[in-house]
Structure 1
């Protein structure tokens, strides 16, 4: 068996998996093997074939075998078409390290009251004149990929994002182009086995609307309904995300930003070989049965966005 899966879930979570995402423990190994065999027969995909990687995609697709195949194909396709985000993902690279040390994106210890992973994004904390949007997205991707690989519980319960927009300026807004918005949201919605359960924005300045309206235009309707904008009202946030899961700096009791940042940098260093090896898992469009996929086809911008005005 390739990288055999060992279940770490409680009985309660196994029951949730059965009810919410159609996971049947007695059938799990057969479903994984079915997908692994399918991947082996795709001439254009070089994929990870271990149990856990395949299981994450099955869970993200509620155990629909057809949807899992489509999502895996799209995942490796998007990775290949976005080398600026998926090549040279070394957490010890000087530029990436500097971004990671800022703590732009931090999965918080523990889980919220519904068992979901809470991830804190501090979107105004970096200098857009020194850090490009592609460098930022690459660094965020490194963090999310390692988090999803080490956190089995969230593959069942999903995750919640808290976006702190303190310090967000027009310069930040301009660096996040419609192309970045479309590509990143397409990839995360169509290619990733994520289960996003909520997006909460706090400390939103005027520049936020410019960025968010671009971003929202590419969101699926289901995701739009899960967006909450709290402004500076922290009590409003606490009704959704308890203080017990938030850092001290946000009125919580869950450690400091510095401690959480240090913890994750150590985790990323420990997974450095895995991240570097990840580059080889891609597609070769010249070997794809049927028509090759292109960036223009998947990420091509609608004409209306070429005329987008920034107020």
Structure 2
């Protein structure tokens, strides 16, 4: 599927806002590449495009990019259950992606933000929490490897078919691991999470999970009873047909992304399965994320920039 890229003018303007030129950005990418080559405990397949994705998502901060790159690989070691059995072509994974709609919208917002949509098919009896987490990391890995740089990320979570029963079956520890990975490790520059069609379920989420989130994240979470409230943040035309937009239907967009992820199988089973070699990790580069999942049920506050 085509994913819109930011215009050259917007990229230049964003660089100016960060006090940087395109030449300086290229120079920092090369420095980051050299740094990664010296980290013998980390996998070494990253392209310059992927490194740029991390650098841009870290507001062009070299040090923050290093931290996120280290964390990106370290999570495969700390939460292996998310990164094992991730073959997107297995019957279980295919069935799950037909049960859960999870994909990025093709076009960016006026501010250059990528929008991700997540929702359940009306017949969601086959929903599996762990399979959902694996599908999530498959999608985000695809974007890290194939998407262009953006100015930020919006996430739409449609609660239309989410039930209390389903939420109560989702282990809190698993939810927090997935939340930490998306909000703290990935270079997404999260700008907003929009819950729609979730009046009662949202109250449950607030009561159970909000205490684990930082104040900044809580301020970026919004509950909308009607999808038209999305228009305050997202251009109507780039939304799916069900939300009054000009894009294809949710079902059609999801089907396209199912094929995209299946075509990404070789990467997921090879590069995507590489873990850091912790025996080679220098003591001074001890991952600050190791305490996220060291003790079951013990999590640091999630932070975002």
The TM tier, using the shorter chain, reads 0.7 to 0.9
Would the alpha carbon gap of residues 191 and 21 (structure 1) be closer, same or farther in structure 2, given more than 3 Å must change? farther
- The match for 1:144 is 140
- The match for 1:298 is 292
Cα distance between partner residues in 1 of 2:145 and 2:297:
37
* 1:162–1:199 contact (8 Å) kept in structure 2: yes
Cα distance between partner residues in 2 of 1:92 and 1:134:
16
Structure 2 residue 219 is the aligned partner of structure 1 residue 250:
no
* Pairing 1:1-311 to 2, within 5 Å after superposition: 10-123=7-120, 127=124, 130-152=126-148, 155-231=149-225, 233-290=226-283, 297-300=291-294
Cα distance between partner residues in 2 of 1:132 and 1:117:
26
Cα distance between partner residues in 2 of 1:46 and 1:202:
39
Q: Deviation string for 1:117-159 (max 9, x for gaps)?
A: 221110575646x43311111112212322343321xx23222
Cα distance between partner residues in 2 of 1:68 and 1:287:
21
SS in 2 for 1:163: strand
| 1:229 Cα deviation after fit | 0.5
* 2:97–2:258 contact (8 Å) kept in structure 1: yes
Cα distance between partner residues in 2 of 1:303 and 1:103:
26
Aligned residue pairs, count: 294
| 1:264 Cα deviation after fit | 1.1
SS in 2 for 1:298: coil
Runs of 4 or more, structure 1, over 4 Å off, are 20-23, 123-126, 291-296, 300-305
Q: TM-score by structure 2 length?
A: 0.85
SS in 2 for 1:299: coil
Compute the RMSD of aligned alpha carbons: 2.7
| 1:24 Cα deviation after fit | 2.5
Structure 2, gaps ≥5 residues long: 300-305
Cα distance between partner residues in 1 of 2:234 and 2:6:
23
Structure 1, gaps ≥5 residues long: 1-7, 306-311
Q: TM-score by structure 1 length?
A: 0.84
